[in-house]
Amino acid sequence: MSDKPYEIIIGLEVHVQLQTQSKLFCRCSTMFGQAPNTQTCPVCIGMPGALPVMNRRAFELGLKTAVALNLDIPKFTKWDRKNYFYPDLPKGYQISQFDLPMSQNGWLDISDPKGGFEPKRVRITRAHLEDDAGKSMHDEAAGKSDSRIDLNRTGTPLLEIVSEPDLRSPQEAKAYLTELRLLLTYLGVSDCNMQEGSLRVDGNLNLHINTPEGQVATPIAEVKNMNSFRAVERAMAYEAERQYEVWCENKIKLGDSPGGHKTTRGWDDGRQVTVKQREKEESSDYRYFPDPDLLPVIVKPDEVEQVRAELGELPAAMRTRLETTHGIDPYDSDVIVNQGRELVAYYEELATSTRDGRRASNWVQQDVLRTLNEQETSISEFSISATALAELLKSIQAGDVDNTRAKDVFDEMVRSGMSAGDAMAALGIEKVDESEAEGLCRELLEANPKVVEDLKAGKTKAVGSLIGQAKKRNPNVNPGQFKDMCLKIVEGM
Amino acid sequence: MSVLEFTATELLAELTVGNVSATELTRVYLAQIEQNDEAIGAFLNVDAERALTQAKAIDQRRQAGEQLGLLAGLPVAVKDVLCTKGWTTTCGSRMLEQFVPPYDATVINKLKAADAVLIGKTNMDEFAMGGSTENSAFKKTHNPWGLDRTPGGSSGGAAACVAASMAPLSVGTDTGGSIRQPAAFCGVTGMKPTYGRVSRYGLVAFASSFDQAGPLAMAAEDVALLLEAIAGHDPVDSTSANVPTPSYTASVREPIKGLRLGVAREHFGDGLDGGVDSAVREAIKVFESQGAIVREVSLPHSKYAIATYYIIAPCEASSNLARYDGVHYGYRTDEKEMLAELAEERKTLEEAGDRAKLEAMDTSLVRMYRKTRSEAFGPEVKRRVMLGSYALSAGYYDAYYLKALKVRRLIREDYDAAFKDVDLIIGPTTATPAFKLGEMNEDPLSMYLQDLYTVSANLAGIAAISLPCGITGEGLPVGLQLQAAPFEEEKLLRAAHMFQQATDWHTKRPR
Ligand SMILES: [Zn+2]
């Protein structure tokens, strides 16, 4: 798809905070936004003698996610210590999983209904559990040399999901993240709030450049500090261009010495550039070894099957089903499914009771989503139930109200909380009696001989001016019906 | 006969019938500490007021007719490696000199629940690393049998305080022999329970897969009493074994009929002191006279035990001790001094125009780590942290750590095979009696060999006990070691009690 002389190679590492009540190895709360260092105990602040106990629930959420990502679940998994010194790491090591992670070799399918890229299967190397570090707050900007540390986050369960370098563009990277976040939301394992840090992304990127001597790879950069999916997309695009420019200048390839090693860069959202980061002192060797304080976890195959059976319908399957059952396009199913399970349920109720999937899809996408946006609310808190909206859509189907006026009815329903029928009555909308409509039609035709002439000449568009006049006389006139009636009368003249 | 000559079991009986109150008993031991500990140095911290308050409360509850716990007013000394809420817990280290834990170790909780009177915290090698208690940052502990001798270590204070009648019961910890070797050196009975039998929660970790707390006392009966009080599954220690705790006090007096004892050739090798050798052989005869059947067993991999232990334990220690970094608690270097030092260095380098060195200079954080750890850890701790960090490094892990794990499994398999044929393995606890203080200061390797006969039990996770079985020509006690399959503490206690019924070595006290 690119006219550039290189291919972009991206792999993503996603850290997801699992939504448990308590931390991974102690019983402290994981609630966000509490006063600093109030959600701590001897275990999570690494007091001498304190010992970890695995939170079963966190493991279950990890398992659920791993199964949904088509990962293999080994029978035996263990915990390892990743040793490094940092002030927000009170034990001096992170409890993670090194050589025997809880899951490996899975995939996630991504596609773009707008056709930006071909559908593809992104391989997932592994997903493993680990405990989160605390937060360091540096006051250097304020001219102080002090740093402050909040250990509330320390020990929060994280699932690290590592993709293979299968992504070929910043768009694909964004699509992967969007689909992953959707899946996690459907599973209910994380709130995926990037602002609060419950979903964090690091991107590994390099280029395969076409040269007369064949393809060469540029040194890999790991990009951190990307605080939104948009930031990821932009950072990846920036980094690709930067690497190409650097390569054109110095021709340093991956693995060359010096300069060919992996570097760490941070995304500066203000300046929209990636900046080289100081290498962490200890990052070269984490001295992983099995944590002697914890027992290995044995996962039985029937446990995995049970989790699989309880997953429920996941986004990809749901899109396909909406398309076949309700006759909507991939684009529409994508929009609806991406809004989450509850909106899908709303849509399905509407589509089923009106037996018109497309009309239901239009209303949900345009009117319902617009209103939710305006009200900054979610479908679960939306004042118009699917049944109530179905009543309105049925009135349209019955010709009791036209589509344009139905929008007014909808707004009235939102405003007052009335049912469709009551809202129509309140707006004075009622079906115009057939004989009354015919009378009005004849009257207007008589008064507008020019229109009659045009109609006879086959210029059916001329009826438009009559509709306008009719609506002025009686706003309830149904334009479609009125048009048909005029044409019929003129035909008989 | 002074109360001080009573065993804990006898004292408990006196307490129960009201011949003595917990307060009186506590006062007796406090006075004994007052009188003797200046010379012995077994305690790092004695809180008379705390002990007496506890004792009074127990007496009041007894008077009110309340059901009391298993230890019902008996004073217990605790090694300063077990966290005590609101009471300094130093681990014998400058690093934790001021550290006051906000929680009690499970062992401490259990002692409190058993109505023990916590009489003091005992001296130890820094972070339990050592075999003479000389690695304590605070003081030396002297062996009550000869003040120029070491009490052993790391639980030197724990053993010395029992030997010098400053506490009837004492809790130590054993990572490579740290209860049994001091018990042998001080002529007391001390047990390392099976790994997982006693909770490690609140036991400040040295080597997590080895550390195990256990009792020291005058007699096997007393050890049974204290073990019963502190053993049991603990849901906050994932490595704690979920097995029922038998009543050791109920079974300790039952002799084992047809006891099958194994003697391992590997326990009688070069370097075994003649006095120790003959005392242990005599002890075996005592068992034989009681109907025990003795046969030879083989522990072929035990020759690798020391090497294996001194890989794995330092690896775990290097990680366990990473938390002492001066950030959250414990010792931190003087920051002003450190910043001044950095500024000075920077200035010198700038003047010399040494760009490369300027770039490579420590950040203030890294310098804080370096100085804090350099200043507050003693040489043995540093040695083991370095050994462990090295062995875990990329490129060395397989050759050292992984290899050592494999040997560890072979050592365990040796024991599994041996315990198919015998109930207990009998041999010396140590190759020599207590050596002189300062004797091994310049020779860490021969200090490591102190663990020669004890460390295999920690590698295999099995249970073992040391009990006095003789006195050498120099007047120093000799320790007899019995080892049992996992969770067979009852066998150890019953056999030790049988021996103590037939002999009086355990009643000998230093003058
Ligand atoms: Zn906690």
Residue among B190, B206, B230 nearest B105 (CA): B230
Report pLDDT digits (tens) over A147-165.
899 999 999 999 999 999 9
Residue of chain A minimizing CA distance to B370: A85
Chain B interface mutation, best of A24, A95, A287, highest count of B Cβ atoms under 10 Å? A287
CA angle B42, B44, B50 (to 5 degrees): 110
Cα gap A292→A313, rounded to integer Å:
39
Q: Looking at the predicted structure, is the pLDDT value of residue A476 above 90?
A: no
User: Is B343 near chain A, with CB under 8 Å?
Assistant: no
Q: Are residues A111 and A232 in the same domain?
A: yes
Compute the Cα dihedral for B144, B149, B153, B157 and give only its sign: positive
Cα gap B9→B218, rounded to integer Å:
10
Nearest CB partner across the interface for B393, out of A45, A285, A292: A285
Total residues belonging to chain B: 511
Cα gap B471→A197, rounded to integer Å:
67
Chain A residues with CB-CB distance to B99 below 8 A: 48
Residues within 8 A of A (CB atoms), B 256-315 only: 315
A293 to chain B, minimum CA–CA distance in Å?
A: 6
Which residues does residue A265 pair with via DSSP β-bridges, in sequence order?
A: A223, A276
A139 to chain B, minimum CA–CA distance in Å?
A: 14
Backbone angles phi, psi at A228, to 5 degrees: -155, 165
Contact B318 A53 (CB under 8 A): no
Residue among A159, A162, A191 nearest A176 (CA): A162
Residue among B468, B469, B465 nearest B492 (CA): B465
For residue B436, CA distances in Å to B292, B432, B466, B474 come to: 36, 11, 21, 12
Residues 6+ apart with CB under 8 A from B503: B283, B286, B469
Contact A149 B327 (CB under 8 A): yes
Between the CA of A54 and the centroid of ligand 1 the distance, in Å, is: 12
Query: Token digits for A425?
Result: 């009555």
Q: 3-class DSSP state for residue A275?
A: strand
User: Is A298 near chain B, with CB under 8 Å?
Assistant: no
Residue A84 is predicted with a pLDDT of 94
Residue among B259, B253, B257 nearest B497 (CA): B253
Give the ipTM.
0.96
Between the CA of B316 and the centroid of ligand 1 the distance, in Å, is: 22
- The domain limits of chain B are 3-301+424-507, 313-400
pLDDT mean across residues, chain A = 92
Residue B479 is predicted with a pLDDT of 98
B201 to chain A, minimum CA–CA distance in Å?
A: 6
Chain B interface mutation, best of A51, A96, A284, highest count of B Cβ atoms under 10 Å? A51
User: What DSSP assignment string belongs to B146-195?
Assistant: BTTB---SSSHHHHHHHHTTS-SEEEEEESSSTTHHHHHHHT-EEEEPPT
Count chain A–chain B contacts defined by CB atoms under 8 A.
102
Nearest CB partner across the interface for A54, out of B103, B238, B397: B238
Q: Are residues A323 and A286 in the same domain?
A: no
User: Is A294 near chain B, with CB under 8 Å?
Assistant: yes
Contact B319 A49 (CB under 8 A): no
- Whole-model pTM: value is 0.92
Residue A487: CATH number of its domain: 1.10.10
Q: Are residues A366 and A476 in the same domain?
A: no
User: Is B322 near chain A, with CB under 8 Å?
Assistant: yes
For residue A65, CA distances in Å to A29, A308, B112 come to: 22, 10, 44
Confidence of residue A279 (pLDDT cuts 50, 70, 90): low
Cα gap A101→A69, rounded to integer Å:
14
Chain B interface mutation, best of A85, A289, A295, A297, highest count of B Cβ atoms under 10 Å? A289
Catalytic sites of B, residue numbers: 79, 154, 178
Q: Is A53 within the bounds of a domain?
A: yes
Chain B residues with CB-CB distance to A293 below 8 A: 205, 208, 238-239
User: Is B169 near chain A, with CB under 8 Å?
Assistant: no
A52 to chain B, minimum CA–CA distance in Å?
A: 7
Nearest CB partner across the interface for A53, out of B96, B202, B235: B235
Contact A287 B99 (CB under 8 A): no
Residue A1 is predicted with a pLDDT of 44
Q: For the ranges A127-141, A353-367, A372-386, B75-89, which has the lowest average pLDDT?
A: A127-141
Cα gap B189→A394, rounded to integer Å:
90
Q: 3-class DSSP state for residue A163?
A: strand
Strand order across the A289-290 sheet: A93-96, A80-83, A289-290
User: Is B397 near chain A, with CB under 8 Å?
Assistant: yes
Residue among B401, B399, B398, B403 nearest B388 (CA): B401
The continuous run of DSSP H or E covering A389 comes out as: helix A386-397
Residue B257 is predicted with a pLDDT of 96
Per-residue pLDDT of chain B (511 residues; tens, 9 = 90+): 688 999 999 999 999 999 999 999 999 999 999 999 999 999 999 999 999 999 999 999 999 999 999 999 999 999 999 999 999 999 999 999 999 999 999 999 999 999 999 999 999 999 999 999 999 999 999 999 999 999 999 999 999 999 999 999 999 999 999 999 999 999 999 999 999 999 999 999 999 999 999 999 999 999 999 999 999 999 999 999 999 999 999 999 999 999 999 999 999 988 899 999 999 999 999 999 999 999 999 999 999 999 999 999 999 999 999 999 999 999 999 999 999 999 999 999 999 999 999 989 999 999 999 999 999 999 999 999 999 999 999 889 999 999 999 999 999 999 999 999 999 999 999 999 999 999 988 888 888 888 899 999 999 999 999 999 999 999 999 999 999 999 999 999 999 999 999 999 999 999 8
Tell me if B152 sits within 8 A of B434, measured CB to CB: yes
Nearest CB partner across the interface for A49, out of B205, B322, B328: B205
The tally of CA atoms less than 13 A away on the side-chain side of residue A87 is 19
Cα gap A427→A416, rounded to integer Å:
12
Query: Token digits for A302?
Result: 């029937």
Chain A residues with CB-CB distance to B200 below 8 A: 49, 51
Q: Are residues A66 and A132 in the same domain?
A: yes
Q: Is A308 within the bounds of a domain?
A: no
Which of A401, A426, A451 terminates a domain? The answer is: A426
Chain A interface mutation, best of B96, B321, B328, B459, highest count of A Cβ atoms under 10 Å? B328
Nearest CB partner across the interface for A91, out of B82, B101, B323: B323
Cα gap B231→B215, rounded to integer Å:
10
Contact B205 A47 (CB under 8 A): no
Between the CA of B107 and the centroid of ligand 1 the distance, in Å, is: 20
Between the CA of B118 and the centroid of ligand 1 the distance, in Å, is: 28
Cα gap B371→B95, rounded to integer Å:
12
Q: Looking at the predicted structure, is the pLDDT value of residue A140 above 70?
A: no
Q: Which class is domain B3-301+424-507?
A: alpha beta
Residue B447 is predicted with a pLDDT of 83
Q: Looking at the predicted structure, is the pLDDT value of residue A324 above 70?
A: yes
Q: Are residues A395 and A468 in the same domain?
A: no
Chain B residues with CB-CB distance to A50 below 8 A: 103, 201-202
Residue among B489, B479, B192, B460 nearest B302 (CA): B460
> Is the previous residue joined to A258 through a cis bond, with omega within 30 degrees of 0?
yes
Cα gap B277→B273, rounded to integer Å:
6
Between the CA of A90 and the centroid of ligand 1 the distance, in Å, is: 12
The secondary structure of residue B82, as a DSSP letter, is B
Residue A199 is predicted with a pLDDT of 96
Cα torsion B500, B501, B503, B509 to 10°: value is 60
Between the CA of B101 and the centroid of ligand 1 the distance, in Å, is: 15
Contact A51 B397 (CB under 8 A): no
Q: Looking at the predicted structure, is the pLDDT value of residue A282 above 60?
A: no
Tell me if B32 sits within 8 A of B167, measured CB to CB: no
CA angle A59, A63, A68 (to 5 degrees): 150
Residue among B154, B162, B157, B96 nearest B128 (CA): B154
User: Is A260 near chain B, with CB under 8 Å?
Assistant: no
Between the CA of A151 and the centroid of ligand 1 the distance, in Å, is: 9
Query: Token digits for A224?
Result: 């951190």
Q: Is A307 within the bounds of a domain?
A: no
Contact A47 B325 (CB under 8 A): no
> Is the previous residue joined to B251 through a cis bond, with omega within 30 degrees of 0?
no
Q: 3-class DSSP state for residue B299?
A: coil
Residue B157 is predicted with a pLDDT of 98
Residue among B468, B462, B491 nearest B174 (CA): B462
Chain A interface mutation, best of B312, B315, B318, B327, highest count of A Cβ atoms under 10 Å? B327
Contact B204 A145 (CB under 8 A): no
Q: Alpha-carbon Rg of chain A, whole angstroms?
A: 30
Q: Are residues A219 and A321 in the same domain?
A: no
Work out how many domains chain A is built from and give that number: 3
Contact A42 B318 (CB under 8 A): no
For residue A115, CA distances in Å to A1, A120, A171, A321, A402 come to: 11, 12, 11, 20, 34
Q: Which domain holds residue A459?
A: 434-492
Question: Where do the H-state alpha helices sit in B41-118?
Answer: 48-63, 106-113
Cα gap B499→B223, rounded to integer Å:
14
Chain A residues with CB-CB distance to B366 below 8 A: 281
Tell me if A157 sits within 8 A of A52, measured CB to CB: no
Contact A90 B315 (CB under 8 A): no
Between the CA of A154 and the centroid of ligand 1 the distance, in Å, is: 8
B77 to chain A, minimum CA–CA distance in Å?
A: 19
Cα gap B384→B312, rounded to integer Å:
10
Q: Are residues A375 and A254 in the same domain?
A: no
User: Is A81 near chain B, with CB under 8 Å?
Assistant: yes
Pair type for strands A103-110 and A120-131: antiparallel
Which of A426, A443, A469 terminates a domain? The answer is: A426
Mean pLDDT of all residues in A401-408? 89
Q: Are residues A364 and A281 in the same domain?
A: no
